[in-house]
Structure 1
Amino acid sequence: MSQTFVVEASRVTWTNSGVEIVILDLEGSQYFALNESGCELWPLLVNGTSRDDMIAKLVDEYKISEDVAAQDVDALLDGLLERNIVKVADGSI
């Protein structure tokens, strides 16, 4: 069974500047910006996605190894989970 991660929509608002995703944590009043690869993954997180799907997206988009993609995805998820910007969705796949 794989966990599904989703943006904690009631806690944040965001905008796509065309270069980066800028996220405002409404509870903590902090801004965060996602880099290019984070911008690729953010729409997946908005709709709910698994770690494996995120890794596959980076491998496909950037032609990198699964190991490198997994490290990037794990770093992103760790940071977003720590800040309560994403959560593990109920009824994970």
Structure 2
Amino acid sequence: MVRLPLTAEEIERGQRLGALLREARADRSILEVALDAGVSPETLRKIETGRVATPAFSTIAVLAAVLGLSLDDVWAQVSIRTPEPMAVSS
């Protein structure tokens, strides 16, 4: 199975997801949250740093539940699009 390269939008969305999870984790350790969610600490670390930009839905769902986030809120925060710069005409 060949995996296509991620688009810039997918990478940005992964970075927003990672930032949201880091913020929600607050002072809890990566180890504690990962164990509660049943994922490896390395997986959580990669998601939080954006190295895994498109984690499985089930992984997002369990992390959201452990962190007390609704999936609706996660999607609302992650799907925000950054406006593209306007071209300046001369």
- Give your verdict on TM over 0.5: no
Which one has a larger percent strand, Structure 1 or Structure 2?
A: 1
**TM-score, structure 2 normalization:** 0.38
Which one has a larger percent helix, Structure 1 or Structure 2?
A: 2
**TM-score, structure 1 normalization:** 0.37
Structure showing greater Rg:
2
